[in-house]
Amino acid sequence: MEKIRIAVIDDHDLFREGIILVLSQIEGFEVVFNTSNGKLFVEALAGTDVDVALMDIEMPAISGALTTEKALEVKPALNIIALTMYSDTGHYTQMIQAGVKGFILKKANKFELEQAILTVQRGGSYFSQEILQQLAFRYNGKTTGDQELTTRETEIMVLICQGLTSQEISERLHISAKTVETHRSNLLLKCGVRNVAGLIAWAVRNRYYSIS
């Protein structure tokens, strides 16, 4: 089985070294790049095979949000997870709009870190429960109005929030993956969000999905 290639971008050396050590203990994971500087990561990305990037939100010189935007311009298929602390809440919207696939607290344990990486690598999104709760109150997607979600849209929304991929949803609901993708696109448009991260925050904020 091919290993998941991971990059770690964080300006705190001890934390970065610690997370690299944890990742080295997980079978199937390989850290192929690490740096304290988002600019260096973007410059190296074209010549580096990376599947998942763990991205600090607040860094000097170039922020996590800007690094995410630039990295996805170079490698659109890259899966980026934001590494965050409670004090970073003011930057959540920026990271969502930049294109991250999820958020995980820096205090997370080994198991949660593993699950986050595996989830985004298979096409899902991952959020620490504490982060999702904070996100729901801060994300600026539009609230429900005249365009209420259909029963099918609500059903798909909940499964997206649970981290299922389009293929997994199609198998669960016995519909084609293409139909799921159509519903997903319609949900993004109807909810006024740009990506699945924003969609999940919108769903929690508007009580389509409970985090309790």
Q: What is the CATH number of the domain that holds 95?
A: 3.40.50.2300
pLDDT at residue 130, as a whole number? 80
**3 state DSSP class of 177:** helix
Give the confidence band of 124 by pLDDT, cuts at 50, 70, 90.
confident
Residue at 43 is within a domain = yes
Average the pLDDT over 39-43 and give the result: 95
Measure the CA–CA gap between 129 and 138, rounded to whole angstroms: 15
pLDDT at residue 162, as a whole number? 86
Q: Which helix (H) or strand (E) holds 74?
A: helix 64-74
Q: How many domains does the chain have?
A: 2
Residue at 137 is within a domain = no
- Give the sign of the dihedral formed by CA 156, CA 159, CA 165, CA 168: negative
CA 55 to chain centre: 10
Least confident of 76-80, 181-185, 203-207: 203-207
Going by DSSP bridges, is the β-strand pair 4-9/29-35 parallel, antiparallel, or unpaired? parallel
The answer to whether residues 108 and 19 belong to one domain is yes
The answer to whether residues 107 and 175 belong to one domain is no
pLDDT at residue 83, as a whole number? 93
The answer to whether residues 173 and 122 belong to one domain is no
169 burial class (0-12, 13-18, 19+ CB within 10 angstroms)? buried
Give me the chain's average pLDDT, please. 88
Tokens matching residue 107: 């205090």
User: Mind listing the pLDDT tens digit for each residue in 99-123?
Assistant: 999 899 999 999 999 999 999 998 8
193 CB-side CA count, 13 A: 26
Give the confidence band of 211 by pLDDT, cuts at 50, 70, 90.
low
pLDDT beyond 90 at 80: yes
The residue with greater pLDDT, 60 or 79, is 79
| Residue among 149, 151, 147, 169 at smallest CA distance from 160 | 169
pLDDT beyond 80 at 71: yes
Residue at 26 is within a domain = yes
Least confident of 50-54, 74-78, 146-150, 192-196: 146-150
Residue at 101 is within a domain = yes
- Domain with residue 164: its CATH number is 1.10.10.10
Measure the CA–CA gap between 212 and 132, rounded to whole angstroms: 11
The answer to whether residues 33 and 85 belong to one domain is yes
pLDDT at residue 141, as a whole number? 57
87: left (phi over 0), alpha (psi -120 to 50) or beta: alpha
Task: Write out the residue range of the structural domain in which residue 70 sits.
Answer: 4-127
Residue at 133 is within a domain = no
Q: Which helix (H) or strand (E) holds 140?
A: none
The answer to whether residues 105 and 11 belong to one domain is yes
The answer to whether residues 86 and 188 belong to one domain is no
The answer to whether residues 170 and 109 belong to one domain is no
For residue 31, what is the DSSP state? E
